[in-house]
Amino acid sequence: MGGAGPRISVRFRPSGGPMIIAIANQKGGVGKTTTAINLAAALAQKGFRTLLVDLDPQANATLSYVDLEAIGQSMFDVLVDPEVSLESILLDCKVENLRVAPARLALAKVEPALAGQLDAHFKLKDKLEPVRDQLDFVVIDTPPTLGMLTVNAMVAATHLLVPIQSSYYALEGTDDLLETYERIRLRANPDLQFLGVLVTIYDRRTILARDIERQIEEVFKDKVFRTRISKNVRLEEAPAYKEPIFSFAPSSRGAEEYYRLSEEVLERVD
């Protein structure tokens, strides 16, 4: 790939509002946050005005780009307080064109805080409305559950991206996720599209990984992205330096693969 890293180019600008990509899987450890932070960075570096929304109480996506001390109000305040706007909490980071809507551990309290509210599942969608004209892409990182936060992400989204690790239990729980997706499309968000399945933490050297890859392709067929995200220590190291893989290790396999994923995403949403 060469020391200069992936080629960055602008392909199009979405019309009719931003493309909002919810990255979801109720299984933990499948690369949701790694995918969210690097897909958002790739889109931003292509010139798209991009927002990374962290809906995971662990706040790993947030801390991949900003210091804890920089966080004041968070997505918890946005979702539970009608007076707090999304725009008021946004933070800049090292990546040009990318802003972060930060999370805090308090997000774990969202479900009881919104219990009984008829519009609870529409909170994120409503709060995104005033900033739609300022954005081309929104990438939402979700927690490893199918609770209130993940449902809010899917109700607000235009597209759903599902990372699946190439491990023995890869497909476990995907039926529940797809059932939730269909229920949301049926009533709350009929425009939600299934963007695709991304095979992550892939070790092409093992027979098991290749077998699981075939199983995933049999289930999801052409919805599986061509790009595979390999096991890569550089991807794990980059967040500690508050950088995306493209600046931290531009010649790494991880940078090449997430660049290719961003190209596929643009093909599918164009």
86-129 confidence digits (pLDDT tens): 999 999 999 999 999 999 999 999 999 998 899 999 999 999 99
Distance CA 16, CA 33 (A): 27
Report residue 253 as tokens: 């396999």
Q: Count how many residues are written for the chain.
A: 270
In order of their start, the domains of the chain are 19-269 (3.40.50.300)
DSSP string, 41-94: HHHHHTT--EEEEE--TT-HHHHTTS-GGG--S-HHHHHH-TT--SGGG-EE-S
Spell 106-134 as b/e; 16+ CB within 10 A means b.
bbbebeeebeeeeebbbbbbebbeebeee
pTM: 0.93
Cβ atoms of 130 and 87 closer than 8 Å = yes
Count CA atoms within 13 Å of residue 52 on its CB side.
36
pLDDT computed for residue 15 by the predictor: 54
How far does the chain reach from its first CA to its final CA, in angstroms? Answer: 26
Residue 124 and residue 84 in contact, taking contact as beta carbons nearer than 8 Å: no
**Which residues are CB-neighbours of 159 under 8 A, at least 6 positions away?**
19, 20, 21, 22, 192, 193, 194, 195, 268, 269
Whole-number mean pLDDT of the chain?
A: 91
Write down the number of H helices and E strands in the chain: 11, 8
Tell me the three state secondary structure of residue 179. helix
pLDDT digits (tens, 9 = 90+) for 162-211: 999 887 777 887 889 999 999 999 999 999 999 999 999 888 778 888 88
pLDDT tens by residue, 8-44 = 444 444 557 899 999 999 988 899 999 999 999 999 9
Give, in order, the Cα–Cα distances in Å from 195 to each of 28, 192, 220, 246: 20, 9, 11, 23
**Whole-angstrom distance, CA of residue 225 vs CA of residue 227:** 5
Q: How far apart are CA 76 and CA 266, in angstroms?
A: 30
DSSP state, residue 114: H
CB-based contacts of 124, cutoff 8 Å, min separation 6: 53, 55, 79, 140, 152, 153, 155, 156
